[in-house]
A = this chain, B = another copy of it.
Amino acid sequence: MPDPRYDELVRRLKEASLLESVNELLNWDLESYMPPKGACLRADQLGLVAALAHQKATDPRVGELLSGLEGSELVKDPGSCEAVVIREARRDYDKRTRLPASLVAELAKTAALARQDWAQARKDSDFSKFLPSLERVVALARQKAAAYGTFAEPYDALLDDYEPGTTSAELTQVFSSLRVELSDLLARVGASSHKPDPSVLEGDYAVGLQKVFAESVASAMGFDFRAGRLDVTIHPFCTGIGPGDTRILTRYNPRRLNEGLFGVMHEAGHALYEMGLDKERWFGTPMGMPASVGLHESQSRMWENLVGRSKSFWRYFFPQAQRLFRSALGDVSLDAFHAAINEAKPSHIRIEADEVSYNLHILLRFELERALLSGDLEPADIPMEWNARFKKYLGLEVRRDSEGCLQDIHWAAALFGYFPTYTLGNLYAAQLFEKARQDLPGLDAAFTNGSFAQLRDWLHSNVHRHGRRYHAARLCERLTGRPLSHRPLMDYLTAKCAETYKL
Protein backbone atom coordinates (compact mmCIF):
# COMPACT_ATOMS: atom_id res chain seq x y z
CA MET A 1 0.00 0.00 0.00
CA PRO A 2 1.30 3.45 -0.92
CA ASP A 3 3.25 5.43 1.63
CA PRO A 4 3.49 9.18 0.95
CA ARG A 5 6.84 9.29 2.77
CA TYR A 6 8.26 6.85 0.23
CA ASP A 7 6.96 8.97 -2.66
CA GLU A 8 8.55 12.06 -1.14
CA LEU A 9 11.83 10.20 -0.65
CA VAL A 10 11.87 9.09 -4.27
CA ARG A 11 11.01 12.59 -5.48
CA ARG A 12 13.90 14.03 -3.48
CA LEU A 13 16.36 11.37 -4.65
CA LYS A 14 15.31 12.00 -8.24
CA GLU A 15 15.84 15.74 -7.97
CA ALA A 16 19.37 15.20 -6.69
CA SER A 17 20.03 12.69 -9.49
CA LEU A 18 18.57 15.02 -12.07
CA LEU A 19 21.09 17.67 -11.05
CA GLU A 20 23.86 15.08 -11.20
CA SER A 21 22.69 14.14 -14.69
CA VAL A 22 22.98 17.80 -15.67
CA ASN A 23 26.60 17.69 -14.54
CA GLU A 24 27.16 14.52 -16.57
CA LEU A 25 26.09 16.46 -19.66
CA LEU A 26 28.19 19.50 -18.73
CA ASN A 27 31.14 17.19 -18.31
CA TRP A 28 30.49 15.36 -21.58
CA ASP A 29 30.41 18.71 -23.37
CA LEU A 30 33.59 19.78 -21.58
CA GLU A 31 35.39 16.73 -22.99
CA SER A 32 33.93 16.92 -26.49
CA TYR A 33 32.64 20.18 -27.95
CA MET A 34 33.23 23.02 -25.47
CA PRO A 35 35.34 25.85 -26.91
CA PRO A 36 38.59 26.20 -24.92
CA LYS A 37 37.81 29.67 -23.58
CA GLY A 38 34.65 28.31 -21.94
CA ALA A 39 36.64 26.40 -19.31
CA CYS A 40 36.25 28.85 -16.40
CA LEU A 41 32.51 29.17 -16.89
CA ARG A 42 32.22 25.40 -17.04
CA ALA A 43 34.08 24.99 -13.76
CA ASP A 44 31.67 27.45 -12.12
CA GLN A 45 28.65 25.67 -13.57
CA LEU A 46 29.87 22.25 -12.44
CA GLY A 47 30.67 23.55 -8.98
CA LEU A 48 27.30 25.21 -8.43
CA VAL A 49 25.26 22.28 -9.74
CA ALA A 50 27.31 19.80 -7.68
CA ALA A 51 26.72 21.90 -4.56
CA LEU A 52 22.98 22.02 -5.22
CA ALA A 53 22.87 18.26 -5.84
CA HIS A 54 24.79 17.61 -2.63
CA GLN A 55 22.43 19.92 -0.74
CA LYS A 56 19.40 18.02 -2.01
CA ALA A 57 20.94 14.61 -1.29
CA THR A 58 21.91 15.52 2.28
CA ASP A 59 18.79 17.46 3.20
CA PRO A 60 17.88 16.47 6.78
CA ARG A 61 14.37 15.77 5.54
CA VAL A 62 15.80 12.79 3.60
CA GLY A 63 17.15 11.44 6.88
CA GLU A 64 13.76 11.90 8.57
CA LEU A 65 11.96 10.13 5.75
CA LEU A 66 14.42 7.24 5.86
CA SER A 67 14.08 6.84 9.62
CA GLY A 68 10.32 6.70 9.26
CA LEU A 69 10.38 4.28 6.34
CA GLU A 70 12.86 1.93 7.99
CA GLY A 71 10.14 0.93 10.44
CA SER A 72 7.38 0.73 7.85
CA GLU A 73 5.57 -2.07 6.00
CA LEU A 74 7.67 -1.30 2.92
CA VAL A 75 10.78 -2.98 4.32
CA LYS A 76 9.00 -6.10 5.58
CA ASP A 77 10.12 -7.95 2.48
CA PRO A 78 13.80 -6.99 2.17
CA GLY A 79 13.77 -8.24 -1.42
CA SER A 80 11.13 -5.78 -2.57
CA CYS A 81 12.25 -2.93 -4.79
CA GLU A 82 11.07 -0.42 -2.21
CA ALA A 83 13.14 -2.06 0.52
CA VAL A 84 16.20 -2.02 -1.76
CA VAL A 85 15.67 1.68 -2.48
CA ILE A 86 15.37 2.47 1.23
CA ARG A 87 18.39 0.33 2.21
CA GLU A 88 20.69 1.83 -0.43
CA ALA A 89 19.40 5.38 0.01
CA ARG A 90 20.30 5.06 3.69
CA ARG A 91 23.78 3.91 2.72
CA ASP A 92 24.28 6.92 0.46
CA TYR A 93 22.75 9.37 2.89
CA ASP A 94 24.92 8.22 5.79
CA LYS A 95 28.12 8.27 3.74
CA ARG A 96 27.38 11.70 2.36
CA THR A 97 26.33 13.29 5.61
CA ARG A 98 29.25 11.84 7.55
CA LEU A 99 31.74 13.90 5.57
CA PRO A 100 32.05 17.44 6.95
CA ALA A 101 31.62 20.05 4.23
CA SER A 102 34.96 21.59 5.23
CA LEU A 103 36.77 18.28 4.58
CA VAL A 104 35.07 17.85 1.20
CA ALA A 105 36.08 21.36 0.20
CA GLU A 106 39.65 20.93 1.42
CA LEU A 107 40.02 17.62 -0.40
CA ALA A 108 38.73 19.15 -3.62
CA LYS A 109 41.10 22.10 -3.33
CA THR A 110 44.12 20.03 -2.32
CA ALA A 111 43.49 17.53 -5.11
CA ALA A 112 43.21 20.33 -7.67
CA LEU A 113 46.63 21.63 -6.63
CA ALA A 114 48.03 18.11 -6.39
CA ARG A 115 47.05 17.43 -9.98
CA GLN A 116 49.11 20.41 -11.12
CA ASP A 117 52.12 19.27 -9.09
CA TRP A 118 51.70 15.73 -10.34
CA ALA A 119 51.56 16.88 -13.99
CA GLN A 120 54.77 18.85 -13.52
CA ALA A 121 56.48 16.04 -11.61
CA ARG A 122 55.54 13.52 -14.28
CA LYS A 123 56.78 15.83 -17.01
CA ASP A 124 60.12 16.22 -15.22
CA SER A 125 60.07 12.63 -13.95
CA ASP A 126 60.84 14.06 -10.53
CA PHE A 127 58.88 12.47 -7.67
CA SER A 128 60.12 15.04 -5.16
CA LYS A 129 57.95 17.66 -6.88
CA PHE A 130 54.86 15.60 -6.17
CA LEU A 131 55.73 14.34 -2.70
CA PRO A 132 54.49 17.30 -0.60
CA SER A 133 51.14 17.24 -2.39
CA LEU A 134 50.90 13.49 -2.08
CA GLU A 135 51.52 13.72 1.65
CA ARG A 136 48.73 16.24 2.03
CA VAL A 137 46.32 14.19 -0.07
CA VAL A 138 47.07 11.00 1.88
CA ALA A 139 46.55 12.80 5.18
CA LEU A 140 43.18 14.10 4.03
CA ALA A 141 42.18 10.71 2.62
CA ARG A 142 42.87 9.20 6.02
CA GLN A 143 40.68 11.88 7.60
CA LYS A 144 37.98 10.99 5.12
CA ALA A 145 38.27 7.31 5.98
CA ALA A 146 38.02 8.16 9.67
CA ALA A 147 34.93 10.29 9.08
CA TYR A 148 33.19 7.35 7.38
CA GLY A 149 33.47 5.49 10.67
CA THR A 150 33.52 1.80 11.41
CA PHE A 151 35.59 -0.14 8.92
CA ALA A 152 38.22 -2.80 9.64
CA GLU A 153 40.93 -0.54 8.21
CA PRO A 154 41.05 2.95 6.67
CA TYR A 155 41.43 1.64 3.12
CA ASP A 156 38.15 -0.25 3.35
CA ALA A 157 36.23 2.95 4.03
CA LEU A 158 37.45 4.40 0.71
CA LEU A 159 37.17 1.17 -1.27
CA ASP A 160 33.55 1.04 -0.13
CA ASP A 161 32.78 4.18 -2.20
CA TYR A 162 33.44 2.20 -5.37
CA GLU A 163 32.77 -1.39 -4.26
CA PRO A 164 30.02 -1.26 -1.65
CA GLY A 165 30.44 -4.02 0.88
CA THR A 166 33.83 -5.27 -0.36
CA THR A 167 36.82 -5.31 2.01
CA SER A 168 40.52 -5.32 1.32
CA ALA A 169 40.85 -8.59 3.22
CA GLU A 170 38.51 -10.21 0.68
CA LEU A 171 40.43 -8.66 -2.18
CA THR A 172 43.76 -9.83 -0.82
CA GLN A 173 42.59 -13.40 -0.73
CA VAL A 174 41.69 -13.44 -4.43
CA PHE A 175 44.45 -11.10 -5.56
CA SER A 176 47.36 -13.00 -3.99
CA SER A 177 46.56 -16.24 -5.80
CA LEU A 178 46.05 -14.25 -8.95
CA ARG A 179 49.42 -12.53 -8.63
CA VAL A 180 51.38 -15.74 -8.29
CA GLU A 181 49.67 -17.45 -11.20
CA LEU A 182 49.88 -14.41 -13.47
CA SER A 183 53.61 -14.01 -12.88
CA ASP A 184 54.05 -17.69 -13.61
CA LEU A 185 52.02 -17.48 -16.82
CA LEU A 186 53.97 -14.42 -17.97
CA ALA A 187 57.22 -16.26 -17.39
CA ARG A 188 56.04 -19.18 -19.51
CA VAL A 189 54.88 -16.80 -22.23
CA GLY A 190 58.23 -15.02 -22.17
CA ALA A 191 60.06 -18.33 -22.54
CA SER A 192 58.06 -19.41 -25.57
CA SER A 193 59.83 -19.31 -28.90
CA HIS A 194 56.50 -18.84 -30.64
CA LYS A 195 55.64 -15.10 -30.75
CA PRO A 196 52.90 -13.15 -32.49
CA ASP A 197 54.01 -10.41 -34.88
CA PRO A 198 52.57 -7.10 -33.64
CA SER A 199 53.72 -5.29 -36.78
CA VAL A 200 50.73 -6.69 -38.69
CA LEU A 201 48.60 -4.22 -36.74
CA GLU A 202 50.40 -1.18 -38.16
CA GLY A 203 49.02 0.50 -41.28
CA ASP A 204 46.74 3.20 -42.62
CA TYR A 205 43.38 3.30 -40.89
CA ALA A 206 41.39 6.33 -42.06
CA VAL A 207 39.68 7.78 -39.01
CA GLY A 208 36.36 8.24 -40.85
CA LEU A 209 36.30 4.55 -41.74
CA GLN A 210 37.34 3.54 -38.23
CA LYS A 211 34.29 5.41 -36.96
CA VAL A 212 32.03 3.57 -39.41
CA PHE A 213 33.53 0.25 -38.35
CA ALA A 214 33.32 1.03 -34.65
CA GLU A 215 29.69 2.11 -35.01
CA SER A 216 28.80 -1.09 -36.79
CA VAL A 217 30.45 -3.12 -34.00
CA ALA A 218 28.71 -1.06 -31.31
CA SER A 219 25.37 -1.54 -33.09
CA ALA A 220 25.95 -5.29 -33.29
CA MET A 221 26.63 -5.26 -29.53
CA GLY A 222 23.25 -3.60 -29.06
CA PHE A 223 24.23 0.02 -28.48
CA ASP A 224 21.09 2.02 -29.36
CA PHE A 225 22.12 5.08 -31.35
CA ARG A 226 18.68 6.62 -30.82
CA ALA A 227 19.46 6.59 -27.10
CA GLY A 228 23.13 7.44 -27.33
CA ARG A 229 26.01 8.94 -29.27
CA LEU A 230 29.62 8.21 -30.16
CA ASP A 231 31.99 11.21 -30.35
CA VAL A 232 35.69 11.98 -30.19
CA THR A 233 37.75 13.11 -27.19
CA ILE A 234 41.23 12.88 -25.69
CA HIS A 235 40.48 10.68 -22.65
CA PRO A 236 37.80 8.14 -23.66
CA PHE A 237 34.84 7.48 -21.37
CA CYS A 238 31.18 6.57 -21.26
CA THR A 239 28.55 8.60 -19.45
CA GLY A 240 25.06 7.37 -18.65
CA ILE A 241 23.39 10.73 -18.43
CA GLY A 242 19.93 9.33 -17.79
CA PRO A 243 17.06 7.47 -19.44
CA GLY A 244 17.47 7.54 -23.21
CA ASP A 245 20.83 9.30 -23.17
CA THR A 246 24.10 7.36 -22.85
CA ARG A 247 27.18 8.72 -24.60
CA ILE A 248 30.58 7.34 -25.53
CA LEU A 249 33.66 9.42 -26.19
CA THR A 250 36.62 7.74 -27.84
CA ARG A 251 39.77 8.47 -29.85
CA TYR A 252 41.29 6.99 -32.97
CA ASN A 253 44.89 6.32 -33.94
CA PRO A 254 45.23 6.64 -37.72
CA ARG A 255 48.03 4.04 -37.73
CA ARG A 256 46.39 1.34 -35.60
CA LEU A 257 42.87 -0.05 -35.62
CA ASN A 258 42.84 -1.67 -32.22
CA GLU A 259 43.06 1.40 -29.98
CA GLY A 260 39.92 3.00 -31.37
CA LEU A 261 38.02 -0.23 -31.84
CA PHE A 262 38.75 -1.84 -28.48
CA GLY A 263 38.21 1.56 -26.88
CA VAL A 264 34.74 1.74 -28.40
CA MET A 265 33.95 -1.85 -27.42
CA HIS A 266 35.10 -1.13 -23.88
CA GLU A 267 32.97 2.00 -23.57
CA ALA A 268 30.04 0.37 -25.36
CA GLY A 269 30.20 -2.39 -22.73
CA HIS A 270 29.82 0.30 -20.07
CA ALA A 271 27.04 1.86 -22.15
CA LEU A 272 25.08 -1.40 -22.37
CA TYR A 273 25.05 -1.54 -18.57
CA GLU A 274 23.73 2.04 -18.41
CA MET A 275 21.18 1.35 -21.15
CA GLY A 276 20.22 -1.92 -19.47
CA LEU A 277 19.35 -0.36 -16.13
CA ASP A 278 15.62 0.19 -15.85
CA LYS A 279 15.93 3.96 -15.79
CA GLU A 280 12.52 4.56 -17.31
CA ARG A 281 11.09 3.28 -14.05
CA TRP A 282 13.87 3.74 -11.50
CA PHE A 283 15.99 6.69 -12.67
CA GLY A 284 17.39 8.58 -9.73
CA THR A 285 16.92 5.73 -7.25
CA PRO A 286 19.34 2.92 -6.34
CA MET A 287 17.28 0.42 -8.32
CA GLY A 288 18.25 2.35 -11.47
CA MET A 289 21.96 2.60 -10.59
CA PRO A 290 24.91 0.29 -11.26
CA ALA A 291 25.94 -1.97 -8.38
CA SER A 292 29.63 -1.07 -8.29
CA VAL A 293 32.49 0.37 -10.29
CA GLY A 294 34.07 -3.07 -10.56
CA LEU A 295 30.90 -4.64 -11.88
CA HIS A 296 30.63 -1.78 -14.38
CA GLU A 297 34.19 -2.47 -15.46
CA SER A 298 33.35 -6.16 -15.87
CA GLN A 299 30.84 -5.21 -18.56
CA SER A 300 33.36 -3.15 -20.49
CA ARG A 301 36.17 -5.69 -20.17
CA MET A 302 33.93 -8.57 -21.16
CA TRP A 303 33.04 -6.91 -24.46
CA GLU A 304 36.51 -5.52 -25.05
CA ASN A 305 38.46 -8.68 -24.22
CA LEU A 306 36.42 -11.83 -23.82
CA VAL A 307 34.31 -10.98 -26.87
CA GLY A 308 36.47 -8.50 -28.78
CA ARG A 309 39.68 -10.50 -28.69
CA SER A 310 38.03 -13.86 -29.39
CA LYS A 311 38.51 -15.78 -32.60
CA SER A 312 34.76 -16.17 -33.16
CA PHE A 313 34.19 -12.40 -33.03
CA TRP A 314 36.85 -11.84 -35.69
CA ARG A 315 35.64 -14.70 -37.85
CA TYR A 316 32.66 -12.45 -38.45
CA PHE A 317 34.29 -9.01 -38.39
CA PHE A 318 37.73 -9.58 -39.92
CA PRO A 319 36.47 -9.81 -43.53
CA GLN A 320 34.61 -6.51 -42.99
CA ALA A 321 37.74 -4.93 -41.54
CA GLN A 322 39.76 -6.17 -44.52
CA ARG A 323 37.29 -4.60 -46.95
CA LEU A 324 37.38 -1.26 -45.12
CA PHE A 325 41.16 -1.19 -44.53
CA ARG A 326 42.46 -2.98 -47.58
CA SER A 327 45.96 -1.52 -47.63
CA ALA A 328 46.54 -2.33 -43.95
CA LEU A 329 44.85 -5.72 -43.64
CA GLY A 330 44.48 -7.05 -47.17
CA ASP A 331 47.46 -9.37 -46.84
CA VAL A 332 47.10 -10.23 -43.15
CA SER A 333 45.62 -13.57 -42.15
CA LEU A 334 42.94 -13.90 -39.51
CA ASP A 335 45.25 -16.05 -37.40
CA ALA A 336 48.12 -13.56 -37.53
CA PHE A 337 45.78 -10.69 -36.71
CA HIS A 338 44.15 -12.60 -33.87
CA ALA A 339 47.53 -13.56 -32.41
CA ALA A 340 48.78 -9.96 -32.62
CA ILE A 341 45.79 -8.51 -30.74
CA ASN A 342 46.43 -11.10 -28.03
CA GLU A 343 50.11 -10.47 -27.55
CA ALA A 344 51.12 -10.65 -23.87
CA LYS A 345 54.27 -8.66 -23.12
CA PRO A 346 55.09 -6.78 -19.93
CA SER A 347 55.62 -3.05 -20.32
CA HIS A 348 55.83 -0.09 -17.98
CA ILE A 349 52.60 1.77 -18.72
CA ARG A 350 49.35 0.39 -17.31
CA ILE A 351 47.02 1.83 -19.91
CA GLU A 352 49.06 0.20 -22.69
CA ALA A 353 49.28 -3.17 -20.94
CA ASP A 354 48.03 -6.44 -22.39
CA GLU A 355 45.32 -8.55 -20.75
CA VAL A 356 47.75 -10.75 -18.82
CA SER A 357 50.16 -8.23 -17.36
CA TYR A 358 47.48 -5.56 -16.80
CA ASN A 359 46.36 -7.03 -13.50
CA LEU A 360 49.89 -7.09 -12.12
CA HIS A 361 50.00 -3.32 -12.59
CA ILE A 362 46.83 -3.08 -10.52
CA LEU A 363 47.84 -5.47 -7.76
CA LEU A 364 51.01 -3.48 -7.18
CA ARG A 365 49.04 -0.24 -6.88
CA PHE A 366 46.50 -1.83 -4.54
CA GLU A 367 49.22 -3.04 -2.21
CA LEU A 368 50.93 0.33 -2.12
CA GLU A 369 47.85 2.45 -1.60
CA ARG A 370 46.50 0.17 1.08
CA ALA A 371 49.81 0.50 2.94
CA LEU A 372 49.74 4.29 2.46
CA LEU A 373 46.34 4.49 4.10
CA SER A 374 47.24 2.21 7.00
CA GLY A 375 50.42 4.19 7.59
CA ASP A 376 52.65 1.17 6.92
CA LEU A 377 54.17 2.98 3.96
CA GLU A 378 55.40 6.57 3.89
CA PRO A 379 54.67 8.53 0.70
CA ALA A 380 58.38 9.24 0.38
CA ASP A 381 59.08 5.52 0.03
CA ILE A 382 56.70 5.02 -2.89
CA PRO A 383 59.29 5.05 -5.72
CA MET A 384 61.50 2.49 -4.03
CA GLU A 385 58.62 0.19 -3.22
CA TRP A 386 57.08 0.62 -6.66
CA ASN A 387 60.26 -0.22 -8.48
CA ALA A 388 61.06 -3.24 -6.32
CA ARG A 389 57.64 -4.76 -6.80
CA PHE A 390 57.57 -3.92 -10.48
CA LYS A 391 60.76 -5.88 -10.97
CA LYS A 392 59.39 -8.76 -8.94
CA TYR A 393 55.94 -8.97 -10.55
CA LEU A 394 56.61 -7.89 -14.12
CA GLY A 395 60.30 -8.56 -14.45
CA LEU A 396 61.16 -5.04 -15.63
CA GLU A 397 63.43 -2.33 -14.26
CA VAL A 398 61.76 1.06 -13.83
CA ARG A 399 64.15 3.61 -15.28
CA ARG A 400 62.16 6.77 -14.61
CA ASP A 401 59.36 7.63 -12.19
CA SER A 402 57.39 9.03 -15.15
CA GLU A 403 57.09 5.45 -16.41
CA GLY A 404 56.68 4.23 -12.83
CA CYS A 405 54.89 5.65 -9.85
CA LEU A 406 54.09 8.98 -11.55
CA GLN A 407 52.23 7.57 -14.54
CA ASP A 408 48.68 7.64 -13.14
CA ILE A 409 46.59 10.61 -12.04
CA HIS A 410 44.54 8.65 -9.47
CA TRP A 411 46.52 9.44 -6.32
CA ALA A 412 46.84 13.10 -7.25
CA ALA A 413 43.06 13.11 -7.65
CA ALA A 414 42.66 11.47 -4.21
CA LEU A 415 41.11 8.39 -5.80
CA PHE A 416 42.35 5.86 -3.26
CA GLY A 417 40.46 2.57 -3.45
CA TYR A 418 39.68 2.95 -7.14
CA PHE A 419 42.51 0.88 -8.67
CA PRO A 420 41.24 -2.53 -7.48
CA THR A 421 38.04 -2.01 -9.46
CA TYR A 422 40.01 -2.54 -12.68
CA THR A 423 41.08 -6.03 -11.65
CA LEU A 424 37.72 -6.74 -10.08
CA GLY A 425 36.29 -5.89 -13.48
CA ASN A 426 38.48 -8.50 -15.15
CA LEU A 427 37.68 -11.09 -12.49
CA TYR A 428 33.93 -10.54 -12.62
CA ALA A 429 34.02 -10.47 -16.41
CA ALA A 430 35.70 -13.87 -16.59
CA GLN A 431 33.53 -15.50 -13.95
CA LEU A 432 30.28 -14.14 -15.43
CA PHE A 433 31.33 -14.99 -18.96
CA GLU A 434 32.16 -18.54 -17.97
CA LYS A 435 28.63 -18.85 -16.61
CA ALA A 436 27.11 -17.24 -19.69
CA ARG A 437 28.83 -19.83 -21.88
CA GLN A 438 27.41 -22.61 -19.73
CA ASP A 439 23.93 -21.12 -19.96
CA LEU A 440 24.22 -20.33 -23.67
CA PRO A 441 25.94 -23.24 -25.41
CA GLY A 442 25.64 -21.69 -28.89
CA LEU A 443 27.43 -18.50 -27.94
CA ASP A 444 30.59 -18.95 -30.02
CA ALA A 445 28.61 -19.95 -33.06
CA ALA A 446 26.42 -16.88 -32.61
CA PHE A 447 29.48 -14.59 -32.45
CA THR A 448 30.80 -16.18 -35.62
CA ASN A 449 27.51 -15.16 -37.25
CA GLY A 450 27.73 -11.61 -35.92
CA SER A 451 24.97 -12.14 -33.39
CA PHE A 452 25.58 -10.81 -29.89
CA ALA A 453 21.99 -10.51 -28.72
CA GLN A 454 22.11 -13.69 -26.62
CA LEU A 455 24.99 -12.43 -24.50
CA ARG A 456 23.55 -8.93 -24.24
CA ASP A 457 20.15 -10.26 -23.16
CA TRP A 458 21.77 -12.60 -20.65
CA LEU A 459 23.70 -9.70 -19.13
CA HIS A 460 20.58 -7.59 -19.18
CA SER A 461 18.50 -10.14 -17.26
CA ASN A 462 21.20 -11.33 -14.90
CA VAL A 463 23.19 -8.18 -14.20
CA HIS A 464 21.86 -4.88 -15.55
CA ARG A 465 18.23 -4.99 -14.54
CA HIS A 466 19.04 -5.60 -10.88
CA GLY A 467 20.43 -2.12 -10.33
CA ARG A 468 21.79 -2.03 -6.80
CA ARG A 469 19.54 -4.83 -5.53
CA TYR A 470 22.66 -6.92 -4.76
CA HIS A 471 26.15 -5.75 -4.05
CA ALA A 472 28.53 -6.90 -6.74
CA ALA A 473 30.12 -9.81 -4.85
CA ARG A 474 26.71 -11.09 -3.83
CA LEU A 475 25.36 -10.82 -7.38
CA CYS A 476 28.34 -12.74 -8.69
CA GLU A 477 27.93 -15.50 -6.13
CA ARG A 478 24.15 -15.77 -6.66
CA LEU A 479 24.56 -15.93 -10.40
CA THR A 480 27.57 -18.22 -10.74
CA GLY A 481 26.99 -20.35 -7.67
CA ARG A 482 30.29 -19.53 -5.99
CA PRO A 483 32.21 -16.59 -4.54
CA LEU A 484 34.48 -14.49 -6.70
CA SER A 485 37.61 -16.46 -7.59
CA HIS A 486 40.72 -15.95 -9.66
CA ARG A 487 40.13 -19.30 -11.33
CA PRO A 488 37.90 -18.30 -14.28
CA LEU A 489 40.18 -15.40 -15.24
CA MET A 490 43.30 -17.59 -14.99
CA ASP A 491 41.65 -20.38 -16.97
CA TYR A 492 40.66 -17.92 -19.67
CA LEU A 493 44.09 -16.26 -19.87
CA THR A 494 45.93 -19.58 -19.73
CA ALA A 495 43.91 -20.98 -22.59
CA LYS A 496 44.39 -17.79 -24.60
CA CYS A 497 48.17 -17.81 -24.08
CA ALA A 498 48.37 -21.53 -24.80
CA GLU A 499 46.88 -20.83 -28.20
CA THR A 500 48.83 -17.67 -29.00
CA TYR A 501 52.17 -18.89 -27.66
CA LYS A 502 51.75 -22.62 -28.24
CA LEU A 503 52.45 -23.34 -24.57
The answer to whether A241 touches B38, judged by C-beta atoms less than 8 angstroms apart, is yes
Chain B residues whose C-beta falls within 8 Å of the C-beta of A45 in the assembled complex: 18, 21-22, 25, 242
- Determine the distance from Cα of A231 to Cα of B226 in the docked complex, in whole angstroms: 19
- Determine the distance from Cα of A43 to Cα of B57 in the docked complex, in whole angstroms: 21
Tell me the nearest residue of chain B to A22, going by C-beta: B45
Chain B residues whose C-beta falls within 8 Å of the C-beta of A52 in the assembled complex: 52
Question: Nearest Cβ distance between residue A46 and chain B, in whole angstroms?
Answer: 9
- Determine the distance from Cα of A34 to Cα of B227 in the docked complex, in whole angstroms: 9
A48 within 8 A of B: yes
Q: Which of B18, B19, B29 lies in contact with A25, CB distance below 8 A?
A: B29
Chain B residues whose C-beta falls within 8 Å of the C-beta of A243 in the assembled complex: 37-38, 40-41
A49 within 8 A of B: yes
Chain B residues whose C-beta falls within 8 Å of the C-beta of A229 in the assembled complex: 33, 35
The answer to whether B49 touches A244, judged by C-beta atoms less than 8 angstroms apart, is no
A36 within 8 A of B: yes
Q: Which of A36-66 contact B (CB under 8 A)?
A: 36-42, 44-45, 48-49, 52
The answer to whether A245 touches B22, judged by C-beta atoms less than 8 angstroms apart, is no
A15 within 8 A of B: yes
Chain B residues whose C-beta falls within 8 Å of the C-beta of A151 in the assembled complex: none
The answer to whether A35 touches B242, judged by C-beta atoms less than 8 angstroms apart, is no
Q: Which of A234-287 contact B (CB under 8 A)?
A: 241-245, 247, 283
The answer to whether B228 touches A41, judged by C-beta atoms less than 8 angstroms apart, is no
A161 within 8 A of B: no
- Determine the distance from Cα of A21 to Cα of B245 in the docked complex, in whole angstroms: 21
Number of residues on chain A facing chain B (CB within 8 A): 37
A26 within 8 A of B: yes
Question: Nearest Cβ distance between residue A357 and chain B, in whole angstroms?
Answer: 37
Q: Which of B19, B41, B245 lies in contact with A241, CB distance below 8 A?
A: B41
Tell me the nearest residue of chain B to A246, going by C-beta: B35
Q: Which of B18, B29, B48 lies in contact with A18, CB distance below 8 A?
A: B48
The answer to whether A245 touches B19, judged by C-beta atoms less than 8 angstroms apart, is no
Which residue, of A36, A38, A40, A227, has the highest number of chain B Cβ atoms within 10 A?
A38
Chain B residues whose C-beta falls within 8 Å of the C-beta of A18 in the assembled complex: 44-45, 48
The answer to whether B26 touches A22, judged by C-beta atoms less than 8 angstroms apart, is yes
A92 within 8 A of B: no
- Determine the distance from Cα of A319 to Cα of B386 in the docked complex, in whole angstroms: 64
- Determine the distance from Cα of A36 to Cα of B243 in the docked complex, in whole angstroms: 11
Question: Nearest Cβ distance between residue A395 and chain B, in whole angstroms?
Answer: 46
A458 within 8 A of B: no
Question: Nearest Cβ distance between residue A427 and chain B, in whole angstroms?
Answer: 33
The answer to whether B226 touches A15, judged by C-beta atoms less than 8 angstroms apart, is no
Tell me the nearest residue of chain B to A279, going by C-beta: B41
With A41-B21, A41-B241, A52-B52 as known contacts, state yes or no: A33 contacts B35, CB within 8 Å: no
The answer to whether B34 touches A33, judged by C-beta atoms less than 8 angstroms apart, is no
Chain A 1-45 against B: per-residue CB contact (8 Å), 1 yes, 0 no? Answer: 000000000000001001101100110010001111111111011
Chain B residues whose C-beta falls within 8 Å of the C-beta of A44 in the assembled complex: 18
Question: Nearest Cβ distance between residue A75 and chain B, in whole angstroms?
Answer: 28
- Determine the distance from Cα of A245 to Cα of B42 in the docked complex, in whole angstroms: 9
A367 within 8 A of B: no
Question: Nearest Cβ distance between residue A40 and chain B, in whole angstroms?
Answer: 7
Chain B residues whose C-beta falls within 8 Å of the C-beta of A29 in the assembled complex: 25, 29
Q: Other CB < 8 Å A-B pairs besides A25-B45, A35-B227, 12 of them?
A: A15-B48, A29-B29, A34-B245, A35-B226, A35-B229, A35-B245, A36-B227, A37-B224, A38-B242, A38-B244, A39-B244, A52-B52
Q: Which residues of A line the B interface, CB within 8 A?
A: 15, 18-19, 21-22, 25-26, 29, 33-42, 44-45, 48-49, 52, 224-229, 231, 241-245, 247, 283
Q: List 5 A-B contacts (CB under 8 A).
A: A19-B48, A19-B49, A25-B26, A35-B227, A35-B247
- What are the nearest 6 A-B pairs in CB distance? A38-B245, A37-B244, A37-B227, A41-B242, A38-B244, A37-B226
